[in-house]
Amino acid sequence: MNIYGRLLVAAIGFGLMCGLPAEAAHNEELSCVRIVDESVRISREQLQRLQTIPSGTRASAEVYCVLPSGQMMTEDGDVIEVQRTLLPFEWDPENGLILLWQGDVYVGYDFRLVR
pLDDT at 28: 59
Of 112, 115, 106, which is closest to residue 52 (Cα–Cα)?
106
- Burial of 45 from C-beta contacts in 10 A (0-12 / 13-18 / 19+): exposed
DSSP of 38-106 = TT--B-HHHHHHHTTSPTTEE-----SEEEEEEEEE-TTS-EEEEEEEEEEETTEEEEEEEEEEETTEE
Mean per-residue pLDDT, 56-62: 90
pLDDT of 19 over the 80 cut:
no
pLDDT at 42: 96
pLDDT band at 25 (very low <50, low <70, confident <90, very high): very low
pLDDT of 3 over the 50 cut:
no
